[in-house]
Amino acid sequence: MKKSYHIHGMTCNGCRNHVEQTLSKIEGVTTASVNLENAEATLEYDQEISIEKLQAAMQKEGSHYSIHLLGEQPVENSQEKKKSTNGHGTGVFYCPMHCEGDKTYEQSGDCPVCGMDLVEEQNLNATNSEQWTCPMHPEVVENEAGDCPICGMDLVPMEPDLTAEEKTYKKLAHKFWLALGFTLPIFIIAMSEMIPNNPLYDIMDQKSWNWVQLVLSVPVVFYATWMFFERAYRSIISWNLNMFTLVGIGAGVAWLFSLFGMLIPDFFPAQFKTESGAVHVYFEAATVILTLVLMGQLLESRAHGKTNTAVKELLKLAPNKAVRVIDGKEQEVSIDKIEKGDVLRVKPGDKIPVDGSIIEGNTTVDESMISGEPVPVSKTVGDQVNSGTINGNQSFLLKAEKVGKDTLLSQIVHMVNDASRSRAPIQKLADTISSYFVPIVVAVSIITFVVWSIWGPEPAYVFALVNAIAVLIIACPCALGLATPMSIMVGIGKGAQNGVLIKNAEALEIMDKVNILIVDKTGTITEGKPTVEKIGVFGSRFRESELTKIIASINNSSEHPLAAATVKYAKQQEIDVFPTEDFSAVTGKGVEGIVDGKQVSLGNFKMMEYAQVSVSAEMKNEVQQFQKQGKTVSYLAIDKEVQGYVVIADKIKESSAKAIKKLQDKGIDVVMLTGDNQDTAQAVATELHLAQFKAGMLPEDKLKEVEKLQQQGYIVAMAGDGINDAPALAKSNVGIAMGTGTDVAIESAMITLVKGDLHGIVKAKNLSAAVMRNIKQNLFFALLYNTLGIPIAAGVLFPFFGLLLSPMIAALAMSFSSVSVIANALRLRSKTIN
């Protein structure tokens, strides 16, 4: 046997030689040749050798290369996994304020625009496999328990690496406690001046205590909070002015003024000096301000971790292990080792490891974690199950169909990650205000200094300096910047937990404005699980079983749910199908092709017109009796003559009527557009109390209807599940796909409903309203805070009430303003959207 593989990690001829020698030593390999340029290895062997065995041989040699089949993803070795796994993160970072839209960064650090700590995306795969290491030889890393190959000791589970988020929090916490330790003595020394007959002056004079404050302030300024000055400097040279610009200028001026006051006291006028001749120093103001801002950053870091709690909860759903069945024997394997086509045993109470279909047994499955619906769903052979859902009290066999990043759970996490970084249109308002904010605050600070210097009471310059610093410190553009993205992040996570997947923030905002909803019938209003109720026969040329065989044969090449129902019906009747030639699907009408040498057309009345087949009045009357009961009927024409029909029933979902009523109560007009005939559409509309519906709609007709309503000024949402709905979904203001539908429909939509029923639209509408209300609250709070805070810091209350705002109090208020915005956004986690 001869087979080619791709080699990952080669960079030179030395690599090529090493890989070639390693592969040649493997038992069973007769020859091995490696091409560096194409990064390929060609192996010759007598019997098939598993990819795991090839990779294990490379790992045993201590190499960092990986081998995999051509066209497949590289298989990472344990050493690489240990190095690349970063807690639960992906190694992709983004700014929580989305200063540069959805731009991401490859390493942790500060946002180049606003200076805030970058946040790491959550990663599903990081939690999937537990690794083991030797206490004596940490370089040994295995994917399962066992003995150390070096010393024989039992391997122990490895502690997972901290996420970048956790590392940032720990680093900030360390710096905060250090800053607090040095700031408290400075604050006590400074405040002691207010005590009559200050006891500290019995130990040293005021000038000496000032030097103590200077020394104690150095670790705070030049270590614990130095990052604020770095961010301020970058913001000024790049002219991306932000919160750190103001903090850096304010605290920096206070500290430098104090330093110069001690080094060259004669430079300053008498107003700045105490009775002892020492210049007033503001080391306590500078260090307290910086420490309080650091505390705010620490609290924000903790709060940021809570905003993506929904994703973290989803991550916990993925099990680490699964039970694989090979030749009737069960073996426990890591989730990473499961491949498409594997047969897995899912035991009672276990989490389902991958997406697939049941091939033996039946059970009930709790799908609440991804659909938001609490009632367990009955599953039997042939039914689909999803990773992360929980099996009931019966065991079953599962055939793996989607693994790793292809599972529904992984796709949800990926979608939530992407959507959380997207920008809502309302954020443009906050961005516009923020762009003018810092220059205006600096200007107000300068005006404050000038006004107090000229018209302020003695010592005027001291009042002027303190109030100017207070203005700089209290202003907080971050509260404005965080107002929208925090609510969006929490809201999208909340939606994911309830089976409502939001593709981007714009959809969430527009959904709140939607005033008309267009819904498809099959698979949207109905269950989308059609069943054949009757095969009708016209004339005596064919028997019912023969028509069933022809119908199933032509439909065997179609992916339409109605077609699948007829094929399933034929299998139940133990009827084999003919091969089909020249098959063609006519969108919105039906299918045609050659079956057993006969020209066959199957579909609605429009299909018969398309195929130029005449339908008699008697045939129409017989078919209409079923259509008036809300059933779908397809005519069957053989060699240009109608020979029969198939009646297909598709139950209306129990939730449809209730959901439509709730949406109508919210002022949303609901319109049903269906490709089915008028009688069937009328029966469904009557049952659901829908005044507006249109039948016989082709995909282009649905698209035109959306455009027409938009031209009339409506904000249109479109809900559908099929390929024929994709154009209208893409054109509507908000496209809503049923998660039970086709991938094309889901790709075209902005919102996907995991469970695939209309009640999900009610959830999406309620979620949208809650998020937009929360964003407006945040923006109002941020604007009100700055509108009131800046004038108070400037001293507008002093002439009337004799009140001034200390820069230290301003720093405390500023730090809590951003935290308050995040805390308000976190309230969305407890919001009920059903």
> Which residues, including other chains, have CB under 8 Å from residue 92's CB and lie 6 or more apart?
104, 105, 106, 120, 121
Taking the CA of residue 366 as centre, how many other CA atoms within 13 Å lie in the half-sphere pointing to its CB?
Answer: 14
Cα 132 to the center of its chain, rounded Å: 30
Nearest to 212, CA basis, from 112, 293, 318, 283: 283
**Contact predicate 699/588, CB 8 Å:** yes
β-pairing, 40-45 vs 29-35, is antiparallel
Spatial distance between the Cα atoms of 35 and 10, rounded to a whole number of angstroms: 10
**Dist CA 212 CA 436 (whole Å):** 40
- The overall longest dimension of the chain from CA atoms, in Å, is 121
Q: Determine the residue type at 123.
A: N
Name the strand (E) or helix (H) holding 301: helix 283-307
- CA–CA distances in Å: residue 732 to residues 517, 707, 725, 749: 10, 8, 11, 9
Altogether, the residues listed in the chain come to a count of: 834
The residues pairing with 396 across neighbouring beta strands, listed in sequence order, are 346
Structural tokens at position 521: 């019938």
Cα 740 to Cα 219: distance, rounded to the nearest angstrom: 59
Strand 692-694 relative to strand 669-673, pairing: parallel
3-state secondary structure of 333: strand
- Residue of 89, 768, 823 whose CA lies nearest to 494: 768
Using left for φ > 0, alpha for ψ between -120 and 50, and beta otherwise, residue 669 falls in: beta
- Helices 460-474 and 759-794: angle between axes, nearest 10 degrees: 170
| DSSP code, position 522 | I
582 catalytic per annotation: no
Instruction: Return d(Cα 125, Cα 127) in angstroms, integer.
Output: 5
b/e burial code for range 307-318 (CB count within 10 A of at least 16 → b) = bbebbbebbebb
- Helix and strand numbers (H, E) in the chain are 27, 31
Q: The tokens of 817 are what?
A: 């303003």
**Distance between the two ends of the chain, CA-based, in angstroms?**
59
Residue of 520, 650, 725, 757 marked active site: 520
- Asked if 635 contacts 642 with a C-beta cutoff of 8 angstroms, the reply is yes
Residue 166, SS3 per DSSP: helix
Strands (E) in 684-743, as ranges, are 692-694, 716-720, 734-738
Q: 95, 123, 99: which is closest to 109 by C-alpha?
A: 95
- H helix or E strand, kind and range, residue 260: helix 243-263
Per-position DSSP letters for 401-465, written without gaps between them: EE-GGGSHHHHHHHHHHHHHT---TTHHHHHHHHHHHHHHHHHHHHHHHHHHHHHSPSSHHHHHH
Q: Are 3 and 43 a contacting pair, CB within 8 Å?
A: yes
Cα separation, 606 vs 533, in Å, equals 22
Report whether 437 contacts 475 (CB < 8 A). Answer: yes
Angle (CA) 615-600-726 rounded to 5° is 90
Which positions are catalytic?
520
